[in-house]
Homo-oligomer: A and B are copies of this chain.
Amino acid sequence: MTSPTLVPLNATFKRLHNFGHLASIASWDQAAMMPAKGNEARAAAMAELQVLMHQTLTDPSLKALFAEAAAADLPDADKASLVEMQREWALVNRLPQDLVEAQSLAGARCEHAWRTQRKANDWQGFLGNFREVVKLARQEAKFLADATGTAPYEALMDKFEPGMSEGAITKLFGDVKTWLPDLITQVIAKQHSETVLQANGPFPVDKQRALGVEVMGLLGFDFEGGRLDISTHPFCGGVPQDVRITTRYNAATFAPSLMGIIHETGHARYEQRLPRDTLHLPVGRARSMGIHESQSLSFEMQLARNPAFLQLIAPLVKKHLGDQPAFDAANLARMITRVHRGFIRVDADELTYPAHVILRFEIERALIAGEIEAEDIPALWATKMHDYLGVDVAGNYENGCMQDIHWPMGMFGYFPSYTLGAMYAAQYFATIRKTHPDMDARIANGDLSPVMDWLDANIWSQASRWSTDALVTRATGEPLNAAHFRRHLEARYLGS
């Protein structure tokens, strides 16, 4: 039952939802199906749709509807729905249109040039475009911050992590910084004496796919409501009723694709299990980027790197890729928990990944706050890479501060979500383990219900009904706490 006051707003958001459906499918198609010559026409069609969605959400009549709804006495569920509609509306309407257009242009120009500049290690060339991107992002942050009374960086981060304060994240990441660099050093020293058998390829793509599909089935992916395809950059797309995940295959190695499929399956199950009756409303969507990532990392890190799970799937790996000693469960576990200090975030392992994120968070926070300028980034990058990861990246922009697409596009405030997701996931599993001390034994026996039932009841079925903080507290008994993440990493990597 929806309050009558919300009926016209709901109708608008249902329209947006329908347009969003088309945008999602067209965008999946672009990445997974479309041949090269379709690109220009597709870009024009998608831009037309974006304009339409923007017009719909900036229609002046919405203001009165929101005012009326705000004044009404609504039941709690409708209040929660209104909060999320209001949030989506405000995000679009708080910014002047000329700023949005300038950002879109500057971001497109900078990203386009970055694609060649990165390979050429051309930081100076990049800086020419990037300064404009930073300038406009600061303007955006100021507009949003003025409207909400928050710090500018927090206002940007709020697009991805509603309700997460800059203070809270600084404290969480500050905690991680106190123990992570030492832990990395200890783990690398410990692993130095371990023997890991390498798997002998090649591993034909069709066999890898069959393995991936079987593991997806084991994880509960609903193939009547989704697909697995191939794209250059793996993602989870489509719509909740029809979730499209992608991977990429390399015949020389099987683990990245398998782990990638498991990661995307985590995203997919969240979408596939969102309550069907509110999918057309913002309150019916996934809670935040960090919570979404907490699902993919619950699958990829908490579950799939757990020796009990590897015991379960080792026979499937052997069945599809052929039997060899490297595929024994214990060796598989050593193989996929191997820690390396490296330059590249997307290639990083579970343990070093947070260092890459914290470094970016600290730099982009200072950049948006105006404490540093774009030209200060390389020196800061080098210092932090040295301090957190013990790696010397001086002069290497390509694999240093130019490696990610986020900043060239003008996307600031997103990086924290990756590590927030890892921390949430660790906290979930600490909670599950408390009520299910036999969790590992059950996983090894193929019974994933302790994990899946908990995620379904506490996360998937809740959509955006609660704030992130309330969601996590209801689910685990406390707000996000970095201690669970630390205990998880120490247990897995030091066995302590």
**Contact between chains at A239 and B25 (CB < 8 Å):** no
Give bound CA distance, A227 to B29, whole Å: 12
Binds B, one of A31-39, A358-366, A385-393: A31-39
Cβ–Cβ < 8 Å partners of A225 in chain B: 35-38
Copies of this chain present in the complex amount to 2
Cβ–Cβ < 8 Å partners of A181 in chain B: none
Give bound CA distance, A400 to B46, whole Å: 44
**Contact between chains at B224 and A48 (CB < 8 Å):** no
Chain A contributes a number of interface residues (CB within 8 A of B) equal to: 36
Q: Say yes or no: is A445 at the interface (Cβ < 8 Å to chain B).
A: no
Q: Say yes or no: is A42 at the interface (Cβ < 8 Å to chain B).
A: yes
The smallest C-beta distance from A81 to any residue of chain B, in angstroms, reads 19
CB-based closest 8 A-B pairs: A38-B242, A18-B48, A37-B225, A21-B45, A41-B241, A18-B45, A37-B224, A36-B224
Cβ–Cβ < 8 Å partners of A37 in chain B: 222, 224-225, 241-242
**Contact between chains at B33 and A26 (CB < 8 Å):** no
What are 15 inter-chain pairs, A to B, with CB distance below 8 A?
A: A18-B45, A18-B47, A18-B48, A19-B49, A21-B44, A22-B22, A35-B224, A35-B242, A37-B222, A37-B241, A38-B225, A41-B239, A41-B240, A41-B279, A42-B242
Give bound CA distance, A171 to B56, whole Å: 53
Q: A19-B49, A37-B224, A52-B52 are in contact. List 17 more A-B contacts (CB 8 A).
A: A15-B48, A19-B48, A21-B42, A22-B45, A22-B49, A25-B29, A25-B42, A29-B29, A34-B242, A35-B225, A35-B226, A35-B242, A36-B224, A37-B222, A37-B241, A38-B225, A41-B279
Interface residues of A (CB under 8 A from B): 15, 18-19, 21-22, 25-26, 29, 33-38, 40-42, 44-49, 52, 222-227, 238-242, 279
The smallest C-beta distance from A206 to any residue of chain B, in angstroms, reads 10
Give bound CA distance, A26 to B18, whole Å: 12
Q: List the B residue with the shortest CB-CB distance to A52.
A: B52
Using A25-B25, A45-B21 as known contacts, say yes or no to A35 and B227 having CB atoms under 8 A apart.
Answer: yes
**Contact between chains at A241 and B40 (CB < 8 Å):** yes
**Contact between chains at A38 and B239 (CB < 8 Å):** yes
Give bound CA distance, A231 to B45, whole Å: 25
The smallest C-beta distance from A143 to any residue of chain B, in angstroms, reads 30
**Contact between chains at B21 and A227 (CB < 8 Å):** no
The smallest C-beta distance from A44 to any residue of chain B, in angstroms, reads 6
Q: List the B residue with the shortest CB-CB distance to A15.
A: B48
Cβ–Cβ < 8 Å partners of A239 in chain B: 38, 41
Cβ–Cβ < 8 Å partners of A238 in chain B: 38
Give bound CA distance, A21 to B15, whole Å: 19
The smallest C-beta distance from A270 to any residue of chain B, in angstroms, reads 16
Cβ–Cβ < 8 Å partners of A224 in chain B: 35-37
The smallest C-beta distance from A124 to any residue of chain B, in angstroms, reads 36
Give bound CA distance, A29 to B225, whole Å: 14
**Contact between chains at B25 and A241 (CB < 8 Å):** no
Give bound CA distance, A186 to B299, whole Å: 70
Cβ–Cβ < 8 Å partners of A242 in chain B: 34-35, 37-38, 41-42
The smallest C-beta distance from A29 to any residue of chain B, in angstroms, reads 6
The smallest C-beta distance from A379 to any residue of chain B, in angstroms, reads 45
Give bound CA distance, A49 to B21, whole Å: 11
Most buried by B among A36, A38, A49: A38
Q: List the B residue with the shortest CB-CB distance to A241.
A: B41
The smallest C-beta distance from A463 to any residue of chain B, in angstroms, reads 16
Q: List the B residue with the shortest CB-CB distance to A279.
A: B41
Q: List the B residue with the shortest CB-CB distance to A44.
A: B18
Most buried by B among A22, A36, A240: A22
